[in-house]
């Protein structure tokens, strides 16, 4: 079989059998050059990453359940800029920078609310929910002020089912086109019908890529998750699909084909979910920082946000079918607690890893075939920065193009 067929063609279960039985990396798979260590610690590289990638990426902002009525809004700062996401009076979703067009004061200071419009608390400039400037205090003192040129600055806002994504790049490719082949697979989860169950966040003392790396592979589970997921997942049978634009999917089979998560028994099901995610551990990654490992009874949504060169935040949310916030299914509390236990296992060493990354002992990362999603992520980062803009000593060689499913 050639390189592409190993990673894309044929039934997924046959690919799992192949992975379990192989004695070496597949024929034709390239030696992955080391990922330069400075990509995790060098201020100049991290500044490039922020400006060229984070400011131009589709980033999860929230769930439509957070905007139940016309006039509902919430504020997100996770993108690196303060952005208001609002449902306007016609019911459409919009997003704007939380920046008055007079002298830059914030329009809202709370985290969420409902309003008929936005009024700057500094000088009283007023805007409609669709961003138009409608009134200014002491209008007589302004000479030739053109209201039509002073609307709030919009941020791209699109949905994936009930999931809201924003992008500061006004020329960004539409979200559904951007995720490409993944979009068709996601149809089975009925994301437009799933309700928000829970959301919580965790601050961690490490560069955001340290956390992202851990959720792009299962090479670590026998060390970190000995008493949890390693008991029922077969990491040697794991299969990967690499997609354009840095997106990817990983499927890790259960150790026993008949194994069922006892924490989901009796919970409402998404009846359109296919066999693969219902009976294996599937994990989708929407570049750069959105990880979704779905099941047929609920879906955790993970986002990994940089809060500084050496700090990050993990946001963990759950969505599920037939969820009633006033009367939640009794299994949800235990299920989320079990998930949080696994999450803490992944986070436990992060500050110490950051400390080690900053030492002279860290030169670079020699990744293996199982870890190719990490290399794929870094290749995409360089493409988004611009291959000729990345300093040569920090650059990642582009070697996985023949292993990307288009």
> What distance, in Å, lies between the first and last C-alpha atoms of the chain?
18
| Same-domain pairing of 73 and 33 | no
Q: Is residue 208 part of a domain?
A: yes
Residue 118 belongs to domain spanning: 59-167
| Same-domain pairing of 17 and 107 | no
Q: Is residue 37 part of a domain?
A: yes
- Per-residue confidence at 261, pLDDT binned at 50, 70, 90? confident
Spatial CA neighbour of 354 closest among 248, 227, 214:
214
Q: Is residue 175 part of a domain?
A: no
Whether the predicted pLDDT of 6 surpasses 50? no
Alpha-carbon distances of 273 from 181, 277, 282, 369, 388, rounded to whole Å: 17, 7, 12, 29, 43
* Residue-wise pLDDT tens digits, 314-343: 999 999 998 999 999 999 999 999 999 999
Provide the number of structural domains found in the chain.
2
- Per-residue confidence at 35, pLDDT binned at 50, 70, 90? very high
| Same-domain pairing of 296 and 312 | yes
Helix boundaries (H) for 329-406: 331-347, 350-357, 372-385
Torsions phi, psi for 395 (to 5 deg): -75, 150
**Contact assessment for residue 384 and residue 53, using Cβ atoms and an 8 Å cutoff:** yes
Return all residues near 78 (Cβ < 8 A) that are at least 6 apart: 59, 61, 303, 305, 313, 315
| Same-domain pairing of 322 and 238 | yes
- Would you state the structure tokens that stand for residue 146, as one six-digit string? 């053109």
Spatial CA neighbour of 70 closest among 89, 94, 86, 85:
89
Residue with tokens 């809004």: 73
| Same-domain pairing of 49 and 95 | no
Q: Is residue 294 part of a domain?
A: yes
- Which residue, 128, 146, 167, sits at the end of a domain? 167
| Same-domain pairing of 127 and 203 | no
CA dihedral 216, 17, 13, 3 (to 10 degrees): 60
| Spatial separation of the C-alpha atoms in residues 53 and 246, rounded to whole Å | 12
| Same-domain pairing of 112 and 51 | no
- Per-residue confidence at 260, pLDDT binned at 50, 70, 90? confident
Looking up residue 14, the CATH number of its domain turns out to be 3.90.380.10
| Same-domain pairing of 284 and 322 | yes
Helix axis angle, 372-385 relative to 43-52, nearest 10°?
80
Looking up residue 132, the CATH number of its domain turns out to be 2.102.10.10
Lowest mean pLDDT among 62-66, 221-225, 239-243: 221-225
Q: Which 8-state DSSP code applies to residue 237?
A: G
- Which residue, 143, 167, 191, sits at the end of a domain? 167
Average pLDDT estimate for 70-81: 95
Average pLDDT estimate for 206-230: 89
| Spatial separation of the C-alpha atoms in residues 366 and 288, rounded to whole Å | 21
**Contact assessment for residue 401 and residue 29, using Cβ atoms and an 8 Å cutoff:** no
Q: Is residue 172 part of a domain?
A: no
CA dihedral 168, 173, 174, 178 (to 10 degrees): -110
Q: Is residue 173 part of a domain?
A: no
For 50-108, the DSSP string reads HHHTGGGS-EEEEEGGG--STTEEEEE-TTSS-EEEEE-TTS-EEEEES--TTT---S-
3-class SS of residue 213 = helix
Q: Is residue 217 part of a domain?
A: yes
Beta sheet of 126-128, edge-to-edge order: 117-119, 126-128, 133-135
Whether the predicted pLDDT of 9 surpasses 60? no
Before 288, cis peptide (omega within 30)?
yes
| Spatial separation of the C-alpha atoms in residues 396 and 296, rounded to whole Å | 37
| Same-domain pairing of 43 and 72 | no
- Which residue, 134, 167, 200, sits at the end of a domain? 167
* Residue-wise pLDDT tens digits, 90-123: 999 999 999 999 999 999 999 999 999 999 999 9
Residue with tokens 């390693």: 230
| Same-domain pairing of 252 and 285 | yes
- Would you state the structure tokens that stand for residue 347, as one six-digit string? 């986070």
Q: Is residue 174 part of a domain?
A: no
| Same-domain pairing of 229 and 373 | yes
| Same-domain pairing of 221 and 292 | yes
Tell me what the pLDDT averaged over the chain comes to: 94
| Spatial separation of the C-alpha atoms in residues 364 and 134, rounded to whole Å | 55
């Amino acid at each position: 079989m050639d390189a592409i067929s190993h990673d894309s063609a044929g039934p997924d279960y046959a690919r799992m059998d192949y992975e379990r039985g192989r004695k070496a990396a597949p024929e034709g798979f390239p030696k992955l050059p080391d990922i330069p260590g400075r990509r995790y610690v060098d201020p100049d590289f991290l500044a490039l990453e922020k400006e060229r990638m984070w400011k131009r990426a589709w980033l999860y902002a929230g769930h439509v359940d957070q905007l139940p009525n016309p006039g509902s809004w919430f504020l997100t700062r996770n993108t690196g800029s303060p952005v208001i996401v609002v449902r306007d009076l016609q019911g459409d979703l919009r997003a704007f920078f939380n920046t008055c067009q007079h002298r830059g004061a914030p329009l809202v200071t709370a985290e969420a609310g409902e309003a008929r419009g936005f009024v700057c608390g500094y000088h009283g400039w007023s805007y409609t929910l669709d961003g138009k400037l409608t009134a200014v205090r002491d209008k007589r003192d302004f000479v030739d002020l053109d209201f039509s040129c002073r609307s709030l600055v919009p941020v791209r806002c699109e949905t994936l089912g009930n999931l809201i994504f924003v992008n500061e790049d006004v020329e960004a490719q539409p979200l559904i086109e951007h995720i490409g082949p993944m979009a068709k697979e996601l149809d089975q989860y009925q994301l437009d019908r799933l309700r928000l169950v829970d959301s919580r966040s965790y601050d961690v003392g490490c560069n955001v890529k340290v956390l992202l790396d851990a959720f792009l592979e299962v090479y670590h589970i026998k060390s970190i998750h000995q008493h949890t997921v390693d008991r029922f997942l077969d990491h040697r049978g794991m299969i990967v699909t690499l997609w354009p634009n840095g997106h990817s999917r990983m499927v890790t089979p259960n150790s026993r084909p008949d194994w069922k998560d006892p924490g989901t028994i009796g919970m409402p099901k998404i009846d359109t979910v296919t066999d693969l995610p219902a009976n294996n551990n599937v994990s989708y990654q929407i570049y750069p920082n959105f990880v979704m490992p779905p099941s047929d009874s609920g879906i955790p949504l993970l986002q990994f946000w940089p809060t500084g060169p050496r700090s990050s935040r993990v946001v963990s949310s759950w969505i599920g079918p037939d969820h009633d916030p006033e009367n939640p299914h009794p299994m949800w509390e235990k299920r989320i607690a079990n998930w949080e236990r696994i999450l803490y296992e992944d986070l436990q060493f992060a500050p110490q890893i950051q400390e080690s990354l900053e030492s002279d002992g860290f030169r670079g990362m020699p990744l293996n075939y199982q870890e190719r999603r990490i290399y794929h992520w870094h290749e995409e980062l360089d493409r988004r920065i611009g291959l000729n803009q990345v300093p040569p000593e920090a650059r990642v060689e582009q070697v996985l193009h023949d292993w990307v499913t288009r």
